[in-house]
Amino acid sequence: MLERGWGRVLFATSEIARGRQANPLGAAVFSGGIGLARDLAYQHRDSGVTFNCYAPGAATRLFEVYRSQIDEGMRARGVPADEWGKYYLPPPECVAPMVTWLCTEAGGGFTGEVFNIAGGTVARWSHMTVIGSLVKDGDERGVWSLDELDALVPSRLLAKDK
């Protein structure tokens, strides 16, 4: 692909990569694929080859493996059985159009991206970016004391956006 100057590489990932599923091994594996795709995209950004990820939100075979646990959880929460269906993931055929589009000429304008595809919703996940920083006395090589960090990290680096 690199020699030809055209190609599309897609990595499957998962919502698990976002680290909110109580699955640390899965989070490491799936976020690793995102890092790999983004690094390759950066290295080959002007090559004509794109590297993207898709995270399907669909009722795949894995969903069926856990379906009884999902149903049991809804039963325990008192959700009426006739309403369970609205909590199920959409069918896998909802994923295919976006995956196909990423392989087209039009989809070639994007690389290093992650798209979550769930039914009629396509979402783009953010890149890891710096959202705040502290610089020690204007010297990037300065060494912080623990007292300084105690005072500044919560109030300046972790303060909620206003």
CATH number of the structural domain spanning residue 104 = 3.40.50.720
Amino acid at 141: R
Q: Which of 81, 77, 122, 78 is CA-nearest to residue 99?
A: 122
Asked if the structure places residue 71 within a domain, the reply is: no
Residue range of the domain that includes 117: 7-57+95-124
Residue 150 lies in a domain: yes
- DSSP character for 95? T
**Span 99-146, pLDDT tens digits:** 999 999 999 999 999 999 998 899 999 998 888 889 888 777 889 999
* pLDDT string in tens for the chain (162-residue length): 999 999 999 999 999 999 998 899 999 999 999 999 999 999 999 999 999 999 998 887 877 888 899 899 999 999 999 999 888 888 888 899 999 999 999 999 999 999 999 988 999 999 988 888 898 887 778 899 999 999 999 999 998 764
- With tokens 């680290």, the residue in question is 19
What pTM was estimated for this model as a whole? 0.80
The long-range contacts involving 18-25, CB below 8 angstroms and separated by at least 24 positions, are 18/125
Q: Is residue 67 part of a domain?
A: no
Same domain flag for 134 and 119? no
